[in-house]
Amino acid sequence: MFSSGGPLHPHQYFPNQLFIQGWLYEGLVSYGQDGEIQPALATSWLTEEIVGAGQRVTFTLREGVKFHDGSDFDCASVKLNFDHVLSESARQRHSWLGAVQAMEKWFCNEQGQFVVETNKRFYPLLQELTYIRPLTIAAPSSFANGADSHPELENSCNPGEAKWEGIEALEGFNCAGLSAPVGTGPFKFVSREINEDGTDKTVLFARHDEYWGAIPDIEFVKLETFENTALIEEALLSGDLDMALGIGPLSALQIQDLKFFHSDIVDVRHSDVLQHSLMVMNTNKEPTNDITVRQAIIHAVNKGRFIEEEFGGLEKPVDQVLPQTAPYCNVDLTPKWSYDPVKAELLACPVESGLSSGGIAGVTIACVAIVALVGFMVHMIRREKQGKPIFVTPSESAKGEQA
């Protein structure tokens, strides 16, 4: 359920909502079907090798693009945003990105093209530039001192966020923030109503009529907060709510009920797979430091039953880390670690596996823990979609695109 859009900041993580940042802001390139890198604010790019160093990527920028405030998009505005995200202090906040570590120089050439130079060959550079944050472009007018804003003394980061855990800002570094959420995206911010607890009651967005791409057919989008999923379902059935989107607004069972029993009122549609949930075992700690134990646990977990009971049959089991739609991942891996209690018991029997001679008992205990942790992870994913991740410090867990 939507609770807050956050500051609607293009360079920050929690509590900003990813989907809203995607409406408001754009980067140089975008991520297409099957991992294809597509033009966005850049229409084309040329990658060259730098002898004895890394690579140089020259981006030809799109002409005629307007920010939401009516100002013109140009190379100087791109450089301004990169300067602030990649300033000596602020870049530490984004160092989880390989691209941030690889980029050494960025500048506008005489032809008005934007040039990025890396200190090493870094294949995923373009892929990471497709991310919704942090290297997306805000209008210079929203910076503290406009186009002249100093990357260290007047950085775009939100006020009060000059320090992060494990990160010490340089002397004089100051988070001045952005005065307004102004980007080049297909929708622009209009207004918001705030609840007493500081969360958003409603947030209103309007179509960006000067958008360079396909102008949306929808004129206005209003996000609204509901106290629980039952009220959302009721609003959909009454016609007071036009759409509930994503993970969280409705439970899997509610979605199935609407699909099979209220199809005359509500149209239920499913997208292609956008993400999946993974449970990672700690291979440095007993008993899961033993590969036999890990294999036994995997064979002892009935994913199908869990998906049917907890996700209403809407999901499907996965057996690899990345989805098959990701580049180079459309392969059929073997062996298949499917549900097989007989294999689980056979694997659990040896005493040297770290389990007692009772065999499956130890695996059963581990499986109960795994199921509990999976439930916790589902809850965590839903909170992330709501802009409320459970882990909020870099030392405990990654944020934003790391999650």
Quick check: is 207 in a domain? no
- Mark whether 356 and 254 lie in a shared domain: no
Are 265 and 323 within one domain? no
Span of 135-149, 228-242, 330-344 with lowest mean pLDDT: 330-344
Structural domain contains residue 9: no
Is the Cβ–Cβ distance between 277 and 255 less than 8 Å? no
* Residue range 85-127, pLDDT digits in tens: 999 989 988 989 999 999 999 999 999 999 999 999 999 999 9
User: Does residue 1 carry a pLDDT above 90?
Assistant: no
* Nearest alpha-carbon partner for 11 in 100, 81, 114: 81
In 186-290, alpha helices (H): 229-238, 252-261
What's the CATH number where 132 sits?
3.40.190.10
Nearest to 62 by CA among 38, 45, 40: 40
Could you report how far apart the first and last alpha carbons of the chain are, in Å? 19
Q: Does residue 370 lie within any of the structural domains? A: yes
- Per-residue pLDDT of 215-274, as tens digits, reads 999 999 999 989 899 999 999 999 999 999 877 788 888 988 999 999 999 999 887 766
Residues 6+ apart with CB under 8 A from 72: 65, 66
Q: How far is it, in rounded angstroms, from Cα 37 to Cα 125?
A: 11
- 24 and 141 share one domain: yes
Secondary element (H or E) of residue 191: strand 187-194
Domain count for the chain = 3
Residue 90 lies in a domain: yes
Q: Which residue range forms the structural domain that includes residue 332?
A: 291-385
* Per-residue pLDDT reduced to its tens digit, 158-176: 887 766 655 555 677 899 9
* Edge-to-edge order in the sheet of strand 42-49: 42-49, 55-61, 114-118, 103-108
Q: Is the residue at 174 inside a domain?
A: yes
Q: What is the pLDDT, as a whole number, of residue 165? A: 55
What is the pLDDT of the chain when averaged over all its residues? 84
Q: pTM, whole model, 2 decimals?
A: 0.78
Residue with tokens 């622009």: 188
Report whether the peptide linkage leading into residue 186 is cis, meaning its omega lies within 30 degrees of zero. Answer: no
- Asked if residue 139 lies in contact with residue 182, where contact means CB atoms within 8 angstroms, the answer is yes
